[in-house]
Chains A and B, each alone.
Chain A
Amino acid sequence: MRPLYLRLVATVVCAILALGGSSAAQEVATIQATATVVSGLTVVGANNLQFGTVTPGVPTTVDKAAVTSAGRWDISGTAGSEISVTFTLPLILDNTSSPTSMPISFSATDASYNDGTGSQSSPTGVLDPAAPQTLRLGTVGLLEIFIGGTVSPTISQGGGDYTADVTITVAYTGN
């Protein structure tokens, strides 16, 4: 039988070896990947651009500040977010009952917007509807876009109702 001190030494050595072995074990650490997806954008056509009754040979203009006749879109999304706004503008209005048309045009100041700091008659800013725009939603996440324009009926313009789509496309820029 081995002496006691030899067994003690062997026991201590085994314990130290065991400690040494565990110190080289794998270590694992975990983090989270996180993201907050904000609410999507919505845009609603709130008012048509209405020229009303026009007279052949007499151009008719609707001002963007005209509350009942200017076109208007209401945009909602995450407050303070930057968005791109692109207009798709018609060149003509089509007669709804005959294959005739009437020219329509938009000037570089025919659109405006209100981010909550203004109104339709006193807008936050003026826009050129022919150019892409970068705007920012207001503090409550809303933005109004207004548009006016001019129709130019010919002297022999046929009677009837004329229409065309005026469209805006909005998207978050990510900024």
Chain B
Amino acid sequence: MPRSVFRLGFGFLMLLGLAMTSSGQTITTTNNLVFGLVYPGQPKQILPTAVGEAGEWLIAGNEGDEVRITFTTLPTYLNLNGVNVSVVISETDAALDTAAVPNQTSPPVSGLDPWQPIIYRLGANGLTLWLGGSIIPRQAQAEGDYSNLIQVQVEYTGN
């Protein structure tokens, strides 16, 4: 077999190695942002530290790789049959933790602005992201179940 075949084979293995190390990131939704019972005329805030109430995503991928997290859809209202109730997601309503056992009640990284891309490196178990917000019902807000979507996009930065 000619030597060039061995050189190609080595190149092939190198490329294979590169391809194996760049496994994709995944993002999983683990909790909705739940405002629960809301009283007409009574604003209510859900902090990102509120377990079971704050929105939560789990991002998995290569430890140490940098990812860009973008909230591509952030609501300014929830809706029920064409009726809206105002929602405010503030510039400090996001938090994250890259620890193997994430600490939502006291996250090491908090006060993040969900309106701007968040760039962070994944930990051994990826990264857990939380989002809070406030709801501001009117005094005459119609009763019922309101909802809207929140969408997060994650991608490697290449760094």
Contact = CB atoms under 8 A, between A and B. Distances in A.
Main SS of chain A's interface residues? mixed
B82 interface: no
B139 to A, nearest CB: 7
Given A9-B9, A29-B152, A36 B142 contact: no
Interface in A120-173: 171-173
Given A12-B12, A34-B147, A172 B31 contact: no
Interface in A23-51: 23-41
For A5, A20, A27, A81, which residue has the most chain B Cβ atoms within 10 angstroms?
A27
Nearest to B4: A6
Nearest to B5: A5
Interface residues of B, number: 63
Contacts of A29: 27-29, 57, 151-152, 154
Contact of A24 (B33, B135, B155): B155
A33 B34 CA distance: 6
A32 B40 contact: no
Main SS of chain B's interface residues? strand
Interface string B83-108: 00101000000000000000000000
Interface in B115-159: 133, 135, 137, 139-156, 158
Contacts of A25: 24, 155
A35 B154 CA distance: 26
A30 B38 contact: no
Given A9-B9, A171-B41, A173-B42, A33 B155 contact: no
Contacts of B26: 27
A1 interface: no
Given A5-B5, A23-B22, A35 B41 contact: no
For B39, B135, B147, which residue has the most chain A Cβ atoms within 10 angstroms?
B39
A172 B42 contact: yes
Given A27-B153, A171-B41, A37 B19 contact: no
B55 A35 contact: no
Contact of A38 (B25, B39, B154): B39
A22 interface: yes
Contacts of A108: none
Given A27-B153, A174-B42, A37 B85 contact: yes
Nearest to A29: B27
Contact of B146 (A24, A30, A36): A36
Nearest to A39: B143
Contact of B141 (A9, A27, A40): A40
A27 B19 contact: no
B152 A36 contact: no
Contacts of B37: 36, 38, 78
A164 B103 CA distance: 59
Nearest to B18: A20
A17 interface: yes
B112 interface: no
Contact of A31 (B15, B31, B36): B31
B41 A37 contact: no
